[in-house]
């Protein structure tokens, strides 16, 4: 039997790079997980959900008629560098020994739990395909440090724009030295390829 382990997790909605250790490589995983992560995030203005992604129940709606693609691009520098971020309640963070997503599934709301803000680092944040972007949807290219919640970033951008926004897609394109175009897709895994 061969031991297999993964380094980190992806949101249920997410696709992309997930570093996996095989055999003795499971003990070396942490060594390979240093460095930044890069994501392409799809977002939509006008609604917010319980999970901060399109899989949750809508909790808020807001107008976005006052917004333009330029308005989105103009707020992005405010989210670059070290920023304070409140993680979503649907996360693996723990409160009193329980994972937050477990509490959320038990019916506890984000308003009932004080989730402390955390310092995270956004190294680069750009609007993807500005010329072809048609609101309410837009895409972001995000390079960030560990512990960053892209769902929270999208939420906070929505608030900064005097609206609300929800993440509708997420692809991790890089984790440290591992890039998506150099990874094996799940259907390509075999004893020879790993």
Q: How far is CA 86 from CA 2, 114, 181, 186, in A?
A: 39, 10, 31, 33
- For 138-164, what is each residue's pLDDT tens digit? 999 999 999 999 999 999 999 999 999
Q: What pLDDT sits at residue 194?
A: 66
Q: How much of the chain exceeds pLDDT 70, in percent?
A: 99
Q: What pLDDT sits at residue 115?
A: 85
Q: What is the DSSP letter of 127?
A: E
pTM: 0.91
d(CA 1, CA 24) in angstroms, rounded, equals 12
78 as an active site residue: the answer is no
d(CA 97, CA 91) in angstroms, rounded, equals 13
Per-position DSSP letters for 142-193, written without gaps between them: EEE-TT--HHHHHHHHHHHTTS-EEEEEEEEEEETTEEGGGSPPGGG--TTT
Q: What pLDDT sits at residue 63?
A: 97
Q: What pLDDT sits at residue 110?
A: 76
Q: What is the DSSP letter of 92?
A: S
Q: What pLDDT sits at residue 24?
A: 80
What residue ranges do the domains of the chain occupy?
36-176
Q: What is the DSSP letter of 103?
A: H
Task: Extract the residue ranges of the chain whose pLDDT is less than 70.
Answer: 193-194
Q: What pLDDT sits at residue 56?
A: 92
* Burial zone of 73 (CB within 10 Å; 0-12 exposed, 13-18 middle, 19+ buried): middle
What fold does the segment set 36-176 form as a domain? Pseudouridine synthase (3.30.2350)
């Amino acid at each position: 039997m061969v031991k297999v382990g993964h380094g980190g997790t992806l949101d249920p909605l997410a696709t992309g790079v997930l570093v996996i250790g095989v055999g003795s490589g499971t003990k070396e995983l942490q060594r390979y997980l240093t460095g930044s992560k890069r994501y392409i995030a799809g977002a939509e203005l006008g609604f917010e959900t319980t999970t901060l992604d399109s899989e949750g129940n809508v909790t808020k709606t807001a107008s976005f008629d006052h917004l333009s693609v330029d308005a989105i691009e103009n707020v992005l520098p405010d989210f670059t560098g070290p920023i304070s971020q409140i993680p979503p309640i649907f996360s693996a963070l723990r409160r009193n020994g329980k994972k937050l997503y477990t509490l959320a599934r038990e019916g506890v709301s984000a308003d009932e739990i004080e989730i402390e803000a955390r310092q995270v680092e956004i190294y680069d944040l750009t609007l993807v395909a500005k010329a072809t972007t048609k609101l309410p949807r837009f895409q972001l290219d995000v390079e960030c440090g560990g512990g960053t919640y892209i769902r929270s970033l999208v939420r906070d951008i929505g608030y900064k724009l005097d609206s609300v926004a929800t993440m509708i897609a997420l692809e991790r394109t890089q984790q440290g030295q591992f890039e998506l175009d150099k990874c094996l897709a799940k259907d390509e895994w075999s004893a020879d390829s790993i």
